[in-house]
Structure 1
Amino acid sequence: MTQHPSPTGGAPHSGAPARSMLSYLKWAFIVTGLGLALGGWLGWTTTGTLAGMLTILFICAVLAVLEISLSFDNAIVNANKLKSMTPIWQRRFLTWGILIAVFGMRIVFPLLIVVISARIGPWEAITLAAARPEEYAHIMEEAHLPIAAFGGTFLMMVGLSFFFDHEKDVHWVQWLERRMARHATIRGIEVAIVLVTVLIFSRLLDGADTQVFFSSAIWGLLTFLLVEVLGGLLDSTQKAVKGAAQGGLGAFLYLEVLDASFSFDGVIGAFALTQNLFIIAIGLGIGAMYVRSMTIMLVENGTLTEYRYLEHGAFYAIIALSVIMFMQSLVHIPEVITGLGGAALIGVSLWSSIRWNRVERGNAPASG
């Protein structure tokens, strides 16, 4: 078998042939084929008609596109974290991590919400999803408020932590990011901003929703801080061989919680298209594989280094997504707006990066 660069091991080895985009997407295409075949079989067995089968195939395809559009910024953030991890932990994240992402967040997580919310057993939740999907979807909708508060808080902390960094010296939106980097030395400034935002949104809710939103948001904040503390404690012993592996574990846990936060919006939004848990798992699982492929491509090709503002666009998209999740506690916001908004921010940052590269090449002295 041809030896390519390590699955996430940074830039390709010198002398190794550059991988084509199709080679990165190979497994995503395989999973797409298997997923659509499974979706077609599910559609035929549940409806018994060609039209019903084609409808379910279409829903699976739309869900996959929804997941890709919502999670492209997730791929960029994953790549940003992966490039500082050891190769062995990079591979572990892209194998075990993706299994957790696909099966854990797209199948187990919705079931767990129903188990907790309805106070029923796991097998009863599976039976409910298969036999009474309308009731299952209703329980998921009822759980949307705490999910939005938890995920929105965690993602806002992720986004603000990127910009409130006094060592950050590359700025896309100069007037804003310079000020944020300058004030990064103020201890806990990101936490203060997030708490003020949470207080504002909790005050806009009524009755018991206020307490549910606030307590869920606090748990989201605590989860971020605990993961950061855990990563710091593990990374502090990174000089030892065992410690290096533990440091990778801290980053691994961070990425898993981050992926979970990104998945909240897609899983809940999927119920607007179908109430069938298994169709949702197929569609979102296909999309998650493309996110994995994009992550590997970004790391191996050094794309984040080549396009200097791409990370900025992704983290702005994360902050925008966190605000949207907060706003969804008050009003419904179509998932297409969430996906297109994030894609637009990343697209503009990519265009700015390309323009900056052209200016730099134009200013470079001619070799003589």
Structure 2
Amino acid sequence: MTALKHFRIDFVITALVLVVAFLYDSWTGVTLCAILILVEIVFSFDNAAVNAKYLVRLNEFWQKMFLTVGILIAVFGMRLVFPFAIVTISGGISPMKALDLALEKGDPSVPGTYGYILNEAHPAIAAFGGMFLLLLFLDFMFDPEREITWLSWIEKPLQKLGKLDVLSVVIAGLFLLVASETLVHSTPVHTEVQMRSIVLFSGLLGIVLYLAVNGLSSMMEAREARMDREFEDADAHSSTGHTALLAGKAALSMFLFLEVLDATFSFDGVIGAFAITPDPLIIMMGLGVGALYVRSMTIYLVRQGTLAEYRFLEHGAHWAIGALAVMLILSIKYELGEFVIGGVGIAFILAAWLSSIAANKRDAAAEGADDTINEDQGARA
């Protein structure tokens, strides 16, 4: 019941959105909207698990910002404005023309429709999002200071390799070069050479954005840690003003990082939603409500301490990210499908969760055995 209370606002918003969907397109709108909500929730659980890792370092104010301002960015930015921007830029048309095409609800397989133009932009979107997520995965795996490993037979060697600076960037760059040479093909709109340039540019943009946002976050965290040490050395245990200001800057950079991270997770969902319906308003309502549940799920994981209790959940989420990054790049050429992409991510999360439960049971059994030995030794003494 505690978990359900945590999502009570989401339930109210869901009911209201479904009413709006009914008024907009009768029961067809309700059905499509409900399907999209479920798709977003199921396929974005790995997003919640990863976001929780970063969100736990923010105070309650910034957690509320993540659920309020952040969700507005996620719903209206990624689920509505982003598709319109892609169609406008890719189709070389005005925003009003893009809106007209969207409201026509044309078949995505027919050239000139809203969904068709958006699908044509998929290689660029996949390259951008794939590179961002790949770097996130590699930086986690190459972190030599990480104490806990899940798939130790591969994670420990990767940690040793992580002592080499910028290795993740080198691997991501090589991966992008290989992908641009082997996965790119011509389209009715662009030649193969043009598509290769588009994929390379988009992938490099994803790499640059990751380095910029992650670098800003690291810089703010380093400044915060340095100031904390200075206050401790001066025995200034009550440094509310300075610490609040510095924490605010660090929290802002982390908030921006989370928004970019959420955006990269949203790329495949936004594109894949057009396989369910070409109506952008239904897509915005369905994916938007689903995103709200994902946000609330992230807060729930943070406040319940789930990541600490299930030690391998964070690892499973990052493996899911790595798999998603690779599949996004492969989707430039191959049709993988939303269920394949989402299923692989869920499989990693589920496996990590089960492994965590098994490890907790082993620890409890070992602790019980130690207590029994100590009691026997005490009785003998």
Would the TM-score normalized by the shorter structure come out above 0.5?
A: yes
Please, which of 289, 296, 300 is the counterpart of residue 299 of structure 2? 296
Aligned to 1:287: 290
Aligned to 2:219: 233
Aligned to 1:5: none
Deviation by residue 1:98-131 (Cα, 9 ceiling, x = unmatched): 1111121111111111121223333332222113
Q: d(CA) in 2 for partners of 1:28 and 1:215?
A: 38
Displacement after TM superposition at 1:34 (Å): 1.3
> CA 1:243–1:121 in 2, change beyond 3 Å: closer, same or farther?
farther
Q: d(CA) in 2 for partners of 1:341 and 1:112?
A: 30
Larger mean Cα displacement after TM superposition, 233-242 or 337-346: 233-242
Equivalent pair of 2:78/2:263 in contact (CA under 8 Å): yes
Q: d(CA) in 1 for partners of 2:85 and 2:254?
A: 25
Displacement after TM superposition at 1:68 (Å): 1.2
Aligned to 2:275: 272
Q: d(CA) in 2 for partners of 1:163 and 1:86?
A: 27
Deviation by residue 1:172-211 (Cα, 9 ceiling, x = unmatched): 0011111111221100111111111111111112422211
Aligned to 1:360: 363
Equivalent pair of 2:49/2:317 in contact (CA under 8 Å): yes
Q: d(CA) in 2 for partners of 1:110 and 1:85?
A: 30
Aligned residues: 341
Aligned to 1:177: 155
Displacement after TM superposition at 1:266 (Å): 0.2
Please, which of 327, 330, 337 is the counterpart of residue 324 of structure 1? 327
Q: d(CA) in 2 for partners of 1:222 and 1:184?
A: 20
Q: d(CA) in 1 for partners of 2:37 and 2:105?
A: 24
Please, which of 28, 42, 47 is the counterpart of residue 74 of structure 1? 47
Aligned to 2:172: 194
Larger mean Cα displacement after TM superposition, 128-137 or 178-187: 128-137
Aligned to 1:213: 199
- AA in 1 matched with 2:91: A
Q: d(CA) in 2 for partners of 1:83 and 1:132?
A: 41
Larger mean Cα displacement after TM superposition, 217-226 or 19-28: 19-28
Aligned to 2:29: 56
- AA in 1 matched with 2:330: M
Displacement after TM superposition at 1:20 (Å): 0.4
Please, which of 327, 343, 348 is the counterpart of residue 346 of structure 2? 343
Deviation by residue 1:41-80 (Cα, 9 ceiling, x = unmatched): 1113xxxxxxxx2x33222122111111221111011110
Aligned to 1:179, the other structure's residue is in SS state helix
Displacement after TM superposition at 1:36 (Å): 1.2
Q: d(CA) in 2 for partners of 1:235 and 1:133?
A: 48
Displacement after TM superposition at 1:132 (Å): 5.2
| C-alpha RMSD of matched pairs (Å) | 1.5
Q: d(CA) in 1 for partners of 2:31 and 2:138?
A: 37
- AA in 1 matched with 2:201: S
Aligned to 1:245: 248
- AA in 2 matched with 1:198: L
Larger mean Cα displacement after TM superposition, 87-96 or 304-313: 87-96
- AA in 2 matched with 1:229: G
Q: Give the structure-1-normalised TM-score.
A: 0.89
Q: d(CA) in 2 for partners of 1:212 and 1:58?
A: 37
Displacement after TM superposition at 1:313 (Å): 0.6
Unaligned residue ranges in structure 1 (runs of 5+) = 1-18, 45-52
Larger mean Cα displacement after TM superposition, 92-101 or 169-178: 92-101
Q: d(CA) in 2 for partners of 1:220 and 1:70?
A: 22
Aligned to 1:21, the other structure's residue is in SS state helix
Equivalent pair of 1:304/1:311 in contact (CA under 8 Å): yes
Q: d(CA) in 1 for partners of 2:342 and 2:29?
A: 22
Aligned to 1:185, the other structure's residue is in SS state coil
% identical equivalent positions: 41
Is residue 12 of structure 2 the alignment partner of residue 30 of structure 1? Answer: yes
- AA in 2 matched with 1:182: K
Q: d(CA) in 2 for partners of 1:113 and 1:289?
A: 23
Is residue 21 of structure 2 the alignment partner of residue 39 of structure 1? Answer: yes
